[in-house]
Chain A
């Protein structure tokens, strides 16, 4: 029998039918929606008089457009308020569970589904958001879709797709103590570029990922799309099962035992063949930072910006106000954002709190802490981290996507640099003219304390 990859096993078990010489119909177990990419899909179904086929397999939340201050008050921005209200109406009309503003489970869609136990190994999961790849950390096939596809899933719980090719990224060896999952994924993208994953589904393999927490695995899988891959997956194991057990929607008792037995069959067969494969040595990875306007433009924090002769590269450095060959160490930074679906889970904030405890942020810095969900916000409170952040002069906000894409008021001013734990450093991503440097929560914390970029590895050694 042909050896199968983790991806093959999950994909093949969800194929409903094949169009001759065409795509396959893939069944979707779980659909997540939010306020920005769903209204036009609901409208389309209504226009065509098609009912929502499986409302119980949809979960909604409001995250992209919400304010991170005074969430108990109506949203000030008319358009944003209308969009969030539209989501509420659409969910009520169609019998869809909504964890909206004010609900104890509200938060960034890619933070809440895992923490509620909705995301499970072996399932297919989609959302109108490219960072849906996050959920692949559980060994599920999870990917972002456009609004037309949101409508398709509403109408049929299925999508018409061509099976992507398979890619495996192996990282083995021992990571240095100060190297985080964010550094691992920024390193991988800096090495293979922003489009080498296009057309592929990626599996991350090797002891580095096996030894990572679920939070770390989610950070890695989250950024799969930044190398072009529709999704990223990590084989489920005891760490996965332990994370899921006891969560609100996790299976219990006999059902859990049965599911775990099934989940254990999912990892790629030993001799499974991938269409493309990369190997990296963990010892080569150091704390990373980006200097340009796509996530592939990353360097070790102590390296100099490379010298590349290319018009698009020049345009990018021009936007960032950096020069080829220069070092980023000691560059003054006035904004630090710690949040987003990449790094807003409790583990991220523990790292930050541990570093800044007893320290003060630099006077020039505005430092935002934006928890990924109401539950993370509660954990921050319960673990006593609030006091640490406040004492250090960090501002704690309420959950939402916030300054990752600056749809709300959380914007970085034009021309300013922001060291951000988010996933994209595109032009204007954090506000018109804003300049984003992507980094780990630890590097972001250190930047906030110093008011400039420092060599974190030296400091911790």
Chain B
């Protein structure tokens, strides 16, 4: 997993609430067996019309906006557990998603792929969206060590929460498998002592 420490980037606004993972990556693109190329299908049915032509009004097709930060409405990533949603966002080039709320499974999937989900207050989300829509060249500055997100050249800054273990993983590029495999002895000992292990199948 790629390390994440700091990021300064412009951002793409997507002020829609309850963006579900079916919109991020529709089910018909889940038939492959690798993780390559999902970025081409990111937000497919909002980004392209029936003739596969870009819809100019959609933020990702609007040349006004660019950058590796996506700023989205409340409850981002709800619905299906498909990790393909995180793969599509990272493959497209996003490193951070900012919202006032993330669905649980999406949040975990993002963190397992080096994509940082940042939860901000609804008020701060509105400030960011207004600012980047008015001045699309505005940079957002993410400092994972200090857990802050700021709007460059302004006094706007907010502290964000992240699980301390996940923060270490992001900063160092570690993932959970290493940790779990290294604790196999303890897991095996637990299996021997636990009563709840199913033995019938």
Binding site for B on A (CB under 8 A): 13-14, 16-17, 19, 21-23, 25, 27, 29-30, 36-37, 39-40, 43-44, 48, 50, 53, 56-57, 59, 64-65, 77, 79-80, 82-83, 86, 118, 120, 122-123, 128-130, 144-149, 151-152, 155-160, 162, 164, 194-195, 198-199, 225, 228, 230, 249-251, 255, 262, 294, 310-312, 315, 405-407, 414, 424, 426-429, 432-433
Contact = CB atoms under 8 A, between A and B. Distances in A.
Given A57-B201, A156-B181, A294-B78, 20 more contacts: A19-B179, A21-B165, A23-B163, A25-B180, A40-B33, A64-B30, A77-B31, A79-B32, A123-B196, A129-B80, A145-B105, A146-B81, A146-B108, A146-B112, A147-B83, A147-B84, A148-B175, A249-B200, A262-B195, A428-B23
Given A130-B81, A198-B103, A407 B27 contact: yes
Contact of A144 (B105, B163, B181): B105
B101 interface: yes
Interface string B160-201: 000111000000000111011101101100110011111011
B152 to A, nearest CB: 27
A427 B33 contact: no
Interface of B: 15-18, 20, 22-23, 26-28, 30-35, 45, 50, 73-75, 78-84, 86, 101-105, 108-109, 112-113, 163-165, 175-177, 179-181, 183-184, 186-187, 190-191, 194-198, 200-201
Main secondary structure of the interface of A (DSSP, over half): loop
B79 A130 contact: yes
B80 A312 contact: no
B89 to A, nearest CB: 13
B104 A230 contact: yes
Contacts of A262: 195
B81 A22 contact: no
Contact of B27 (A56, A158, A198, A405): A405
A429 B196 contact: no
A37 B33 contact: no
Given A83-B31, A228-B103, A195 B86 contact: no
Main secondary structure of the interface of B (DSSP, over half): loop
A340 to B, nearest CB: 13
B107 to A, nearest CB: 9
Nearest to B106: A146
A148 B113 contact: yes
Nearest to A129: B81
Nearest to A145: B81
A148 B112 contact: yes
A230 B108 CA distance: 12
* A-B pairs with lowest CB-CB distance, top 10: A22-B165, A156-B180, A79-B31, A148-B112, A39-B33, A146-B109, A146-B83, A144-B81, A312-B17, A130-B81
